[in-house]
Structure 1
């Protein structure tokens, strides 16, 4: 779960998730799920000594991919990577762990 403060502190990244979701033409449910995943897990991925933009961008990308997958509005890792501006490998390396951190069981395929 996340706090209202998390929403305020991450406004920039939530806006980026929305902009990327627009580029991907994602539905409302996938956007909402991506936002929830991002806010629920972003603190798990932050390096307290270096709160850099690359880490948050990677979490945003993985959240969008996982959110679209969960809600049946799936986009490929490559499509999401291009929309967010990260490497496909970034999403590939993070999305399953992101689901675990959110308390969800990733698929085994």
Structure 2
């Protein structure tokens, strides 16, 4: 669980996650999971936050059983598919979960 202060501090990115998730027609559970994953390890550099948000959306969809392809998420988030591919497992692991080995 994340504090209200963290949510307020990163409100812009949480809104962006929700907007992209809605555009992908992700379930509320997947979007909520993505928000939690993002807040578990917010990058310091602003330029890295868009990729972290996209990777969190991809991973949140997988965890919630409502996954989309890396390409779909990348297109919706305006990042490269390779960026998501390189980042999503680390996002999952930093949240204390075990990433699948496939």
- The answer for unaligned runs of 5 or more in structure 2 is none
Compute the displacement of 1:5 (Å): 1.4
In structure 2, distance between residues paired with 1:102 and 1:69:
14
Hey, what does 2:50 align to over in structure 1? Answer: 57
- The answer for unaligned runs of 5 or more in structure 1 is none
The normalised TM-score by structure 1 is 0.89
Query: What is the number of equivalent residue pairs in this alignment?
Result: 102
Hey, what does 2:7 align to over in structure 1? Answer: 7
Hey, what does 1:88 align to over in structure 2? Answer: 81
The normalised TM-score by structure 2 is 0.95
Compute the displacement of 1:68 (Å): 0.1
Q: Can you list the C-alpha shifts for 1:9-55, whole angstroms capped at 9, x where unaligned?
A: 1111011001101110001110110011111111xx32xxxx32x21
1:21-100 alignment, distance < 5 Å: 21-42=21-42, 45-46=43-44, 51-52=45-46, 54-100=47-93
